[in-house]
């Protein structure tokens, strides 16, 4: 009877130890996933803020004081963008980090073009390239999070298809 009690006590302690180890591993995995998801979402949100700031700098006819304020705001958004981008690089998967890097590159090219006081004939193509890289970023995030691929992200995009009504 004494042996049965000892075995039961050892089994109970082993069960608690194994359960605690399992919980710690599972919680660590959830924390890492939460960090990835938060970083992915924050970068997407900042993309839209940054894009709005870029668009304000594109408005023709602004006086120098207004333009200077818009450019200053653009640089503030750029700094926040870089913080969000770094978070994705630290916590994200290789595929998402690469897509974020490509998006960052296209945004930089567009900003450089906008800040030049020359003709803006390349702007529509540069804006489309930025939107394509953002779509690629969303595709990479969805794949990383094991979510199904979206057939439509932007209906006017050159490389996306729109499913027929009532399907998809």
pLDDT of 25 reads: 67
Cα 128 from Cα 117, distance rounded (Å): 21
pLDDT tens readout for residues 144-165: 999 988 777 655 555 554 444 4
Read off the pLDDT of residues 104-130 as tens digits, 9 standing for 90 and up.
Answer: 999 999 888 888 866 667 778 888 899
Q: In this predicted structure, what is the pLDDT of residue 159?
A: 55
Backbone angles phi, psi at 166, to 5 degrees: 85, -5
First to last CA, the chain: 65
- Of residues 119, 103, 125, the one with CA closest to residue 47: 103
pTM value is: 0.73
pLDDT for 17 beyond 90 = no
What gap in Å lies between CA 64 and CA 72, rounded to an integer? Answer: 12
């Amino acid at each position: 009877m004494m042996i049965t009690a000892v075995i039961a006590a050892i089994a109970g302690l082993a069960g608690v130890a194994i359960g605690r180890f399992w919980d710690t591993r599972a919680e660590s995995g959830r924390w890492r996933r939460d960090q990835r998801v938060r970083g992915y979402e924050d970068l997407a949100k900042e993309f839209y803020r940054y894009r709005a700031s870029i668009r304000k700098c594109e408005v023709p006819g602004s006086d120098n004081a207004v333009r200077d304020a818009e450019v200053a705001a653009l640089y503030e958004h750029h700094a926040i963008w870089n913080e969000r981008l770094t978070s994705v690089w630290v916590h994200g998967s290789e595929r998402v980090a690469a897509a974020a890097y490509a998006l960052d590159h296209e945004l930089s090219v567009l900003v450089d073009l906008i800040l030049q006081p020359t003709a803006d004939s390349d702007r529509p193509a540069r804006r489309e390239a930025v939107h394509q890289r953002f779509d690629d970023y969303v595709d990479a995030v969805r794949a990383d999070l094991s979510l199904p691929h979206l057939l439509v992200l932007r209906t006017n995009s050159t490389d996306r298809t729109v499913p027929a009504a009532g399907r998809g």
